[in-house]
Structure 1
């Protein structure tokens, strides 16, 4: 006979877990090579600045890559880069185009979730290729991985800062196909101790599993939909921007109530840029308090501060790829290449 605790757990988890996709075999895209073409699309916010687009084209050219703009790239419909049907058609067309080797979002913003019912997942499954972005692009990364098994990539968008740090991880993961170990820089400058980009261990230990995650706000807004993957045994990574601490508390509570935090094998929290106490005012919980309270009791390896998020220096993290998380050292070690 089931215990009262088991019955309660089943009652809470069943409605939401039923919306998750069953486990699928990971499909790796082909690595990026000099001379390959990057298809640029705007699935969320519009491309407001043609100069910024040109900077992106020149940055990719410096890596030996060509660019191709999606047909509706410069469309605009209010705060969206054109109508939903057109933005979805652009993504479908780039995946179908044999001359395009990687699909890259120019911007995040908002709007990707509106496209999910309009995407041709069968087409994408038949034409697997690199898909990269972050922030609102999380909706595409998670849904396409969940529906097709394609290993997508949480990394720089077209409008990112293409500096040496970001480019190095991008090149090593996508072009060299290295099974890298992601670790924060350890520069102290002329200080006696490191003050920038520190990691802190929430719960020590190591765990292995497939990496899955992205922007916390976007992820939470997909809970209950059929566009999230199976979370069992996964290594969850999350980040966010511009959220008050109470909002982070609310979203982590959401993941807990939805049964997601109870299924993962490890957690990596990246950066929460401009995430202050805000309206919490004097006496507010800190972000450290919130992470400790929600993640600590899970008793799984977890650390915070990784170079993942709305920051200039960022990792390129593959979804669906097996990795080992070391929460004591603050590292994520890929156990396989993310590309073929």
Structure 2
């Protein structure tokens, strides 16, 4: 059975950096995010790791894990949102006290998705893949991003529905901020194989494919045990987003996942929009999706609102989801059961 944390108004947000911290020159930008959360009615408590960054990490693996363990067991902290992702979160996994974690939401994406997926697989505690705290620094959020609060305040036994965005951001413009942070200019168009109108359901699992793939073959990536112990062998709907992989690297990764039995009893796979997916010798991202569909014979949904091309949905690892795609639009209903 999946355990769902619950967020309430006035809760305290703990900000710790299990991957990358905030370098000195960006402290002012990060403080805008803190102020924004406080305007929303949350209390904010920042750990020491947030304010430091050296050699691709906020601190040593042990110190990052120690602060995370502390935050997860502190009754004063109700929700954890790292500042953003990074590169080396996987270093801390062996130092984390998973069995002592108190159920509370962790929200984030990119490198943070390694932590999210590992927690859900090992403990059955639901985790939330969505916006990071820096992207909440605007005067307001777009309708897709702001849905994170509705998702995290959903009670066990209830459901929450999200819709595909109207528009997405083609490129980052850090030197030209908007009131909602993002520049949403391009029309969103969800697609699917075998045709563009599909309906699927199952337990959500996923994250940034660049990094969650490194859980394969470790004690933190035992999908079969999770299926057996926590979801009674219900089908899984995987969601992935590609930050930097070429098409051939992504293809190798998906084959490895298949060989590691991650796709056993899988009802669909979804992929977020990406500015990566570099073509290799004519092998395109559409070729990757077609190959995967022909191998697994399950729906492949792509260009969804997930990952490094905002805005993105808040997808809860472990939740039971019903996903519909029709004529370029989509919706996701997550049931906390």
TM interval, shorter chain, is: 0.7 to 0.9
Which residue number in structure 2 is paired with residue 319 of structure 1?
317
Partner of residue 89, structure 2: 112
Structure with larger Rg: 1
Task: Return the TM-score normalized by structure 2.
Answer: 0.82
Contact preservation (8 Å) 2:274, 2:309: no
TM-aligned CA deviation for residue 215 of structure 1:
0.7
How far the C-alpha of 1:77 sits from its partner, in A, is 3.7
CA deviation map 1:21-69 (0-9, x unaligned)? xxxx2111022x2321100011111211211220210221232111101
Residue by residue over 1:235-257, the C-alpha shift from the partner in whole angstroms, topping out at 9 and shown as x without a partner, is 10000112222222222222222
Unaligned runs of 5+ in 2: 169-184, 228-232
Corresponding residue for 1:285?
Answer: 283
* 1:201 equivalent in structure 2: 192
Q: How does 1:84-103 map to 2 (within 5 A)?
A: 84-103=61-80
Cα displacement string for residues 247-296 of structure 1 (whole angstroms, at most 9, x for unaligned residues): 2222222222222234311111112223322xx2xx51111111111134
Q: Following the alignment from structure 1 to structure 2, what is the Cα–Cα distance between the partners of residues 144 and 217?
A: 18
Aligned-residue offset at 1:327: 4.6
SS of 2:103's partner is coil
Instruction: Name the CA shift for 1:333/1:167 in 2 (closer, same or farther; >3 Å).
Output: closer
Take 1:77 and 1:186, find their aligned partners in 2: how far apart are those partners? 38
Change (3 A) 1:198 1:99: same
Q: How does 1:246-265 map to 2 (within 5 A)?
A: 246-265=248-267
Aligned length: 302
1:75 equivalent in structure 2? 52
- Asked if 1:52 is matched to 2:32, the reply is no
**Separation in 2, partners of 1:264, 1:291:** 15
> Which of residues 230, 233, 236 in structure 2 aligns to 1:234?
236
Matched residues in 1 for 2:104 and 2:146: separation?
A: 21
* 1:185 aligns with one of 156, 165, 180: 165
- Note if contact 1:237-1:267 (Cα within 8 Å) is conserved in structure 2: yes
Please, what TM-score do these two structures have when normalized by structure 1? 0.82
Does the 8 Å CA contact 1:37/1:99 hold for their aligned counterparts? yes
- 1:168 has 2:146 as partner: yes
SS, match of residue 43 in structure 1: coil
Unaligned runs of 5+ in 1: 1-24, 189-193
